[in-house]
Amino acid sequence: MLYLNDDIDALDLDKALSQISAQRREQALKFKYELGQKLCAAAYLLLCEGLRTEYGITEKPLFSYLADGKPILAGHQGIHFNLSHCKNAAVCALSPHPIGVDVERIRSYHDSLVRYTMNEREIQMIEASERPDVTFIRLWTMKEAKLKLLGTGIQKDMKDILLPDDRFTTLVNLDKGYVISVTESVNQ
């Protein structure tokens, strides 16, 4: 299940901070700017909403961390989640299977970044697209969602991380200016 907040400006930061765990509040307040604090709190509140709706869990979730740094829900190892946010939106993905999600703002890109992160087939897709900026961000979010699923984070070589049998759900919102990609592993 996917939970989304793409109206971050409407979030009351003080109220949000009072509704999240002390662990997440500490993390949110590490952000220098209010927008980062809001996004961090919004993603956590989406997790709370998802846990309440999907699993009937009403307590504020606490995170534990795997050796690679990937967060898991303390006391609920059978529930998998992933959070992401960008300037335009916060998102939470929940599943009984390992899951990865990424949301990115649609923006112009630099050819050097494309060539550093995309393989030849992907570069051709981007260059042939009517909206190269959107195609690049779509591919980028797919790559980052997969890396988050795997728990490896961004690696030096992202070019060949996507495989033909990978499955993604991607949402492009041109009006609000973001792309979301989600992938999960049902084989683990």
> Whole-prediction pTM value?
0.92
Share of the chain above pLDDT 90, in %: 84
pLDDT band at 164 (very low <50, low <70, confident <90, very high): confident
Contact 68, 62 (CB under 8 A): no
Tell me the mean pLDDT in the region 65-69: 83
How much is the pLDDT for 28? Answer: 97
Give the tens place of pLDDT for each residue, 72-123. Answer: 999 998 999 999 999 999 999 999 999 999 999 999 888 999 999 999 999 9
| d(C-alpha 188, C-alpha 174), whole Å | 34
Tell me the mean pLDDT in the region 20-41: 97
Q: Does the pLDDT value for residue 17 go beyond 90?
A: yes
User: How big is the CA angle at 174 (ends 171 and 176), to the nearest 5 degrees?
Assistant: 95
- Other beta carbons within 10 angstroms of residue 151's beta carbon come to 16
Distance of CA 83 to the CA centre of its chain: 5
Mean pLDDT of the chain: 93
DSSP H helices, the chain, are: 13-19, 22-29, 34-55, 111-117, 120-128, 132-150
pLDDT band at 186 (very low <50, low <70, confident <90, very high): low
SS3 call for 10: helix
User: How big is the CA angle at 180 (ends 166 and 59), to the nearest 5 degrees?
Assistant: 100
